Structure 1
Amino acid sequence: MEEKHSLEENAIAVSESDDLEIIESNQDIISDDPVTKEDIENLVIYSRDWTIETIISQIESGNIDLNPAFQRRNVWENDKRSKLIESFIVGYPVPEVVLAEIPGKKKQYVVIDGKQRLLAIHGFFKPENKYWKGKAELKGLTIRKDLEGVSFDRLDGDDLRLLNNSDLRCTILSGYQTTAVLYDVFYRLNTGSVPLSMQELRNSLHKGDFSVFITEKTNSEIPLHAIMSLPGPDKRFKDIEVMLKFLALNFNKDKYNGNLKVFLDGFTEYANQSWSSNNKLITNACDEFDQACLLLIDIFNTPKLVGRKWVPIKDNWESRFNRSVFEVLVQYAFNIIKDGNSALFSGDNEKNDFIECIKQAFTGQEFAASVSTTTKTVEQHSIRFNVLFGILNSKFGLHYTLPQTIQ
């Protein structure tokens, strides 16, 4: 019993740590690009009560974009999806969906809030889309237990009529001057017990071949998942965001100016537009990113210490994954892989020296602060990359430089 209790406490701690990381990241993004009064001068907000039948028609016609490329990141379980369908049939109220009209595409919308509800509805009506796990059959019902195990094609009579004619309120935003408005709305609505990453909204706003590629890349098991203590593709897109920043630091056409939202949005748009000419470059870089992760795992002899902060006063590593520490380490390891120098770090002495270099960096207040507080500024990027690159270069006689975007 004690061991089980310990495992449960650890799972809760990891979940709370993940939530805190997402909340902090979301707050950073909002503070990066604050909404002004001028941004919302022409904002128009109105509501429509659409029947479920109309919702399905809007999705099928492409007017509501559910981003099918990201369906494997579906967060809900079938029990929760089933409860939603049951609520429609018995006439219970259901939370509204918030949509934003796509600029230049009248009556076409991206989902700001309520995507899981729409995926559950569409997946029940159209099970071939596989939005549900396994069969799209109702389960765990508490009121209409007679519908347990029923799929859409087995609904008939009043139940089918009630479901088709149930209303779902949709609040629609249009006339916004900048996507910062949508991020702000998303942030304000996203106050539930399971916070969602801003990367989910980025996926909806910036579609293209690159966005599909990076999702498919992280849909497969990659070393990053083990480093981030993820069992697989992250339902809240943290793995995508980490890899996206690595690619943006290396290949963005614009230098990093301290605004992470604009930097990542801009690179995503650029990579989508230039995919035909840059896809091999980015694909190869992602493969080398995987190799860099494997090299770091080999050096530390475990993924659980990669990208963690060293605490000199405790003579120990923190258990929480730290993006700022990881991005410096993986960039250095990426350079090692590109230059074919991984053999330099195959011996136990070299591995220990590498780890000692990281510990040495944490003895300096500047480096420690650069991965702990206000980590997104240009100055903090410069400090953490320059300090650790300098220590490692000096120790191993290498001459690796920072990515062009932060030089």
Structure 2
Amino acid sequence: MITSGEIAIILRALQNHTALEHDYLKEIVEKQWDEERGYLAALSSCFEKGLVEKSGAFLKLSNEGISWIQENNAEFSVEKDLEHSGDGGAQPTKPYDVAKLKMETKPLSVFQALRKIERAEIDLSPEFQRAFVWDELKQSRLIESMIIKIPLPAFYIDATTAVRWIVVDGLQRLTTLYRYCRLQDFALSGLQFLTELNGKKFDELPPEYKVAIEDDTQLMFYNLMPGTPPLAKYTIFSRVNTGGMQLTPQEIRHALNQGPCTELLRRMAKSPEFLSATQGVVESLRMSDRELILRALAFTLNDYSSYREHGDMESFLVHAMNQINALSEMEIKNLEQEFYSNIGKVRKIFGIYSFRKYYMKGGRRSPLNKALFEVWTVTVKGFNSSLIEQKKDAIVTEFLSAMNTDDRFVRSISASTGTYSAVEKRFKATTNILEKAFNA
């Protein structure tokens, strides 16, 4: 028997996105699923009720599905269980050397761009953007704009590797062109000016319109070339990240730092150890889980005092991703295992209150706190599990004392957590908590 709660999990996963690939929807849903529950049975029920429909290779909410969510909103609302305390913005505060910036302007016709896609020289399915798909009305209006000679915005590309271009801004437009002109996944609909073309796929267009799209339309690509500093890449793509579904800072970092680090974060975010320690509450769709892990790894690799050199969390995390990409396979394995060991120690101390603010034993449990996750994961690493087990009650007592008496500590995990003074305060305070507990 499929319950309304199970249906709600599927519909919620689709709610904030025009469409999702089946496999990705399954991946999102199963993180919230008990083993005995059947994802396929629940999805089948959604189809039977007309709540979900197919759009080519994608699944999306139907109008009935949207109405269902609105009608059941109060009963099945999802708690946001990750506290966003603010790191001071997504832009690095220290400038990069402009002389080292290497950018190339490259105009291509639509035909040339599509040929690069067919040759796998342009990646249309990067992991960080795979869930973002325009609906067919928006795609149709883009095609119409090209036919009536409305210029398209520029495309921004990470071309710092020789293998293929990574599209950081403009993926929706390129995907639309490929779907319409090559895959012919949809027919035009909802056109404002060329209404006679409604219902037509690319091969059904008059020849002059095909020429207008493929040959006459010039696309402008701004390519960041090899040799561009990582921080420069991050800053530029953060500033041009202005689309309807803007990338999160971690999605941009992920796009620009492909390698062992991105694979490590992907693996760790799905690990039983991480999901258990965080009770599975950290959003995976926009990579909040990977950013949380990266913060802890960054402070594991670098003493908090080195944070002053970077000046902000964004620069610090970009630096950490480059560090991890340069590690050996064995070093990465050791880093991963140390992380699992450390979050296990924290879980042993605090149980369901792990990485959360609270002020009394048995008190209200606040959302999971990024700053506490990073600082506890790092500061427990020097203590073995048996000693942690012996002293866990004393650690909790000292932590609650700090939460109730040390206003600066509470501020350091609550607001402007990305300043050096906040970082320094919480690391010193947490270290002091452990020292007091072990000396009690």
Scaled by the length of structure 2, the TM-score of the pair is 0.62
Give the RMSD, CA atoms, in angstroms: 4.5
Contact 1:225 1:239 in 2 (8 A): no
Given candidates 252, 256, 262, the residue that maps to 2:306 is 256
Where does 1:90-101 land on structure 2 (aligned, <5 Å)? 90-91=144-145, 95-101=153-159
Asked whether the 8 Å contact 2:277–2:343 carries over to 1, the reply is no
Q: Percent identity?
A: 16
Instruction: Give the letter for the 1:263 counterpart.
Output: F
Deviation at 1:281, TM superposition (A): 0.8
Q: Which has the higher mean CA deviation after the structures are superposed, 366-375 or 252-261?
A: 252-261
Choose 1 or 2 for highest CA Rg. Answer: 2
Contact preservation (8 Å) 2:296, 2:374: yes
SS in 1 for 2:418: coil
2:301 aligned partner, one-letter code:
F
Summarize deviations over 1:166-195 as a string: whole Å, max 9, x none.
Answer: 847333145786444333332323345654
Distance 1:394 1:254 in 2: 21
Within a 5 Å distance, the mapping from 1:189-228 to structure 2 comes to: 189-191=240-242, 194-219=245-270, 222-223=274-275, 226=278
Take 2:205 and 2:187, find their aligned partners in 1: how far apart are those partners?
19
Work out which of the residue numbers 421, 433, 440 in structure 2 matches 1:391: 433
Q: How many angstroms apart in 2 are the aligned matches of 1:292 and 1:118?
A: 47
| Mapped pair 1:64 → 2:117 | no
TM-score, with structure 1 as normaliser:
0.66
Residue 378 of structure 2 is aligned to residue 324 of structure 1: no
Deviations 1:222-281 (A, max 9, x none): 4279557335x232x222122112122223599623323443333322322223341321
Amino acid at match of 1:308: R
- Tell me whether 1:339 sits opposite 2:395 in the alignment: no
Q: Which residue of 1 aligns with 2:39?
A: none
The 8 Å contact of residues 81 and 120 in structure 1, kept in 2 or not, is answered as no
Which residue in the other structure is 1:240 paired with? Answer: 290
Following the alignment from structure 1 to structure 2, what is the Cα–Cα distance between the partners of residues 112 and 386? 39
Between Structure 1 and Structure 2, which shows a larger proportion of helix residues? 1
Q: Do the aligned partners of 1:96 and 1:168 also contact (CA within 8 Å) in 2?
A: no
Count of residues paired in the alignment? 352
Note the alpha carbon deviations across 1:129-165, whole angstroms, 9 max, x for none.
Answer: xxxxxxx954995457747xx9xxxx64438947756
Q: Structure 1 residues 342 and 364, CA, compared in 2 at 3 Å: closer, same or farther?
A: closer
Give ranges in structure 2 of 5+ residues lacking alignment.
Answer: 1-68, 192-196
Separation (CA, whole Å) in 2 of partners of 1:375 and 1:189: 25
Letter in 2 for 1:90: E
Pick from 46, 57, 64: which aligns with 2:105?
Answer: 46
* Residue pair 2:102, 2:224 contacting (<8 A) in 1 also: yes
Q: Which runs of 5+ in 1 are unaligned?
A: 128-135, 399-407
The 5 Å alignment of 1:272-351 reads 272-288=325-341, 291-292=344-345, 294-295=347-348, 299-301=350-352, 305-310=353-358, 318-319=366-367, 321-332=368-379, 339-341=385-387, 343-344=389-390, 350=392
How far apart in 2 are the matches of 1:344 and 1:220? 27
- The counterpart of 2:141, out of the listed 78, 87, 98, is 87
Q: Secondary structure of the residue that 1:27 maps to in structure 2?
A: coil
Cα distance in 1, alignment partners of residues 298 and 416 from structure 2: 19
